Structure formats: structure tokens, C-alpha cells
Amino acid sequence: MIYITRKEQFSASHLLANAELTAEENLELFGKCNNLHGHNYYLEVTVCGTPDTKSGYVMDLKYLKDIITEEIIGKVDHRFLNEIEMFRNVIPTTENMAMVFWKILSDRVQTGNAQLYSVKIYETEKNFVLYKGGL
Ligand code: NI
């Protein structure tokens, strides 16, 4: 099995709040993250598979880049995440973002010889999340 990764960057704002909690409870639970703020995120999408006999590629990384740009970056870059359709009723933590992105990407990158392996999101240099599907 070979693993190939495309890395992208996007900037977005969010705030963390649970709609079922009061303002005081949200402040208690999320602290500073309850305030509107932004991040420069890095997204790493890894696809695994076997190299195609004709091209030698697991997947053309240009093709993977185009899918990520169309499905994710174009929708989240310079946006307020809480207002985006894909995060309707979802608290936009990095964990939930990784799961939402996985769901969007997994069907798109599935080919005869390759499939989505992981979605990794860096919210800061020191905080990052890895999701490999399932629960
Ligand atoms: Ni944040």
C-alpha cells in the first residue's frame, strides 16, 4: 500500500458554542474559544492504494488537489465556519471539521485502486487532529 498526501491551507473564522447551552454555560465550557476568532488551518488529505499499472500513480495529485479545492477550500476559505451549510448543527471544532471533510471527500476520491485514508487538520502549529474514518 502506498500513501499519497496533498496539503492545502485555508483561513477561516469560527466560534465554539453549543446551541443547547446558555451563554454562561458556553463560556464556561469553551472559554476564549466561545469568542469569534480565526485560524490559519492546514489540511492534509491522504489517499492510499496501489499504483495504477498504466500511469504509475496511486492518484494524480493534481486530481486530488482539484477535488479538495472544489469540495472544501472553495467553501471554507475566508468564511465564518458556523454559517456554512456543511457545519449546520455541527460545532466547528477541529474534530468535527475532520469528520465533515472526510464524509465529503471519501466518495469523491474513491477509485478502482485508491481510497481515502486520512484527513488531518492543523488548527495551530501545535494542535492538530487526525481522522481515519469510523468512530
Ligand atoms: Ni478556534
Where in the sequence is the domain holding 112, given as residue range(s)? 2-131
Interatomic CA distance for residues 93 and 32, integer angstroms: 13
Interatomic CA distance for residues 12 and 9, integer angstroms: 10
Q: Where are the alpha helices (DSSP H) in 61-93?
A: 61-68, 74-76
**Is the pLDDT score of 135 beyond 90?**
no
Kindly name the residue from 8, 44, 95, 123 that is annotated as catalytic. Answer: 123
Kindly name the residue from 33, 44, 48, 95 that is annotated as catalytic. Answer: 33
37 labelled catalytic: no
**39-125-23 Cα angle (round to 5):** 40
Report if pTM > 0.75.
yes
**Is the pLDDT score of 2 beyond 90?**
yes
Number of domains in the chain: 1
Is 51:114 a contact under the CB 8 Å cutoff? Answer: no
Cα(first)–Cα(last) distance of the chain, in Å? 23
The backbone torsions φ and ψ at residue 116, rounded to the nearest 5 degrees and listed phi first, read -65, 135
Give the tens place of pLDDT for each residue, 29-49. Answer: 999 999 999 999 999 999 999
Q: Give the domain CATH number at 115.
A: 3.30.479.10
**Is the pLDDT score of 21 beyond 90?**
yes
Predicted confidence at residue 111, as pLDDT, reads 93
Interatomic CA distance for residues 110 and 108, integer angstroms: 6
Predicted confidence at residue 18, as pLDDT, reads 97
**Is the pLDDT score of 133 beyond 90?**
yes
Quickly count: other Cβ atoms within 10 Å of residue 55's Cβ: 10
Distance 83 CA to ligand 1 centre (A): 15
Average pLDDT, the chain: 97
